[in-house]
Amino acid sequence: MAEPSRNRDLDDAIASLRRFLRSRWEERDDVLFRTTAPLPVVPPAVARPGLRTPAPPQGVLRAAAPIPRPAYPAPALRTAMPLPRPMTARPGGGRPAVERHESGILNPNGSDRGKALLELYGRIKGCESCGLCKGRQHFVFGTGHSDARIVFVGEAPGEQEDKQGLPFVGAAGRLLNELLAGIGVSRDDVFICNVIKCRPPGNRKPELPEIEACELHLYEQLRIIAPRILVALGTFAAQSLLQTAQPIGRLRGRWLRWKDSDLLATYHPSAGLRAGSFKKVIEEDFQLLEKRLAKEKAGPA
Ligand code: URA
């Protein structure tokens, strides 16, 4: 819905179609969403950013309850996309030349995940599901490696991101690059995107209909990439992904779960730009990530 229709019946029909699609997606409908095995039903949302739903009592947070490791993505997808993932760094130094597609995806034809992301980009880049499409210069899909083990999720593009069509390329992006470099991770080895793909005017907070329309794109990206680790940058990303109203101060600094991924939430880099104390806390959270990566590198004991 690019703009409110004058036809109430049409608005109602579109709203109920959207609710139906969302519920089928959440239940992993294998006809509508091409999964080959029934996947676990995600517990219903307890609260959503922007909604005045009361904060869930302690312990209700989805991540707090152990979620069994499901066959997610569907087994067919897994066999088609075997792990371990190729990273851009190669033994012996030197990086192979990687192609950066206009979408931001690196080497999109290099793997099945890359091709699937590219196909998704082609399908959604002209999205007109909410009014944000009217003011955008670019649909900011996301950037990085399609086979990344780590996906970083921010809030929404700002001015620079809208201009360049890439996420986190302004001041907050420079701090993110610095934080990544601090733990020895290259921006090109991870995937970086936002919950919202088009810039809200004047960088205002995204509104609920915009979130509802856009997070389906994010879920689809995450289904394809199937990262082991998700890093939620800031309140908005953490609350959107975890569907909670809990403050970021309570969510950050520990490993949580999001579907089949481990999730680490931290403050948004722009908070780190505003205050050194926040930057310090973000650095502490990135150290958790560094430790986790070092452990993975060492392999099972
Ligand atoms: N802030 C975000 O959340 N995302 C960006 O891409 C840039 C700034």
Residue 128, phi then psi, degrees to nearest 5: -130, 35
Encode the chain (301 residues) as per-residue pLDDT tens digits. 444 445 667 766 777 777 677 666 655 554 455 433 333 333 334 444 444 333 333 333 333 333 232 333 332 333 333 333 544 444 444 555 667 899 999 989 999 999 999 999 999 999 999 999 999 999 999 999 999 999 999 999 999 999 999 999 999 999 999 999 999 999 999 999 999 999 999 999 999 999 999 999 999 999 999 999 999 999 999 999 999 999 999 999 999 999 999 999 999 999 999 999 999 999 999 999 999 999 988 887 6
Give the ligand 1 atom nearest the CA of 268: 3
Distance of CA 147 to the CA centre of its chain: 14
User: Exposed, middle or buried: residue 277 (CB in 10 Å: 0-12, 13-18, 19+)?
Assistant: exposed
Would you state the pLDDT for residue 26? 57
The fold of the 103-298 domain, in CATH, is Uracil-DNA Glycosylase, subunit E (3.40.470)
CA distances from 40 to 22, 64, 260, 268, 277 (A): 15, 17, 10, 30, 40
Please give the model's pTM, rounded to 2 decimal places.
Answer: 0.73
Nearest to 118, CA basis, from 130, 128, 109? 109
| 197 CA → ligand 1 middle, Å | 10
Ordered DSSP codes for 54-84: PPPPTT-SGGGS-------S-HHHHHHSPSS
Ligand 1 pocket, mutate which of 194, 215, 231, 267 (most atoms under 8 A from CB): 194
| 157 CA → ligand 1 middle, Å | 5
Would you state the pLDDT for residue 17? 76
Nearest to 133, CA basis, from 199, 76, 181? 199
Would you state the pLDDT for residue 67? 27
User: Exposed, middle or buried: residue 288 (CB in 10 Å: 0-12, 13-18, 19+)?
Assistant: middle
Query: How many of the other CB atoms lie within 10 Å of CB of 12?
Result: 11
Would you state the pLDDT for residue 103? 95
| 113 CA → ligand 1 middle, Å | 24
269 CB within 6 A, ligand 1: no
User: Exposed, middle or buried: residue 100 (CB in 10 Å: 0-12, 13-18, 19+)?
Assistant: middle
Helix (H) or strand (E) holding 179: helix 171-182
